[in-house]
Amino acid sequence: MLGGDRITRVNELVLHEVSGLIRREVELPLGMLATVVAVETSPDLAYAKVFVSVLPSSKADEAFKALNKHVGRVQQLLNRKLTMLKVPRIRFMLDTGEDRAAHLERLLDTLDDTE
């Protein structure tokens, strides 16, 4: 099992590299922005969940179709770029943090209105 510091460094490295690869290699439909916000690598470095935030959130499905269409190419380039013995296999995940935050904000607003 790897130490937490190493996993943290691997997460940061994968986040940085995948962000650049998405910007250069993935052609997203016009009018949307996809940003890598976090990476969670498994302790054995076999897999990495790459959390992506999409703006506007209503176009998340379109963005994920484009990302998943190019995941093989992004993985191939990541394997070449990183000088690690074992490069994690990436999987794109939708980051819903902003949606959850907006929902909580609306709930708090309704509480304020009732008082």
Q: Where are the domains of the chain?
A: 4-114
Q: Which CATH architecture has domain 4-114?
A: 2-Layer Sandwich (3.30)
Locus of tokens 């995941």 = 71
- Asked whether 53 and 63 are in contact (CB, 8 A), the reply is no
Asked if 48 and 88 count as a contact pair (C-beta separation under 8 A), the reply is yes
pLDDT at 99: 63
Half-sphere CA count of 25, side-chain side, radius 13 A: 18
Give every residue of the chain whose pLDDT is below 70, as ranges: 1-3, 98-104, 112-115
Q: What was the pLDDT predicted at 108?
A: 75
Cβ–Cβ under 8 Å, residues 26 and 67: yes
Q: Is 0.85 topped by the overall pTM? A: no
User: Which residue from 102, 9, 80 is spatially nearest to 48, judged by alpha carbons?
Assistant: 9
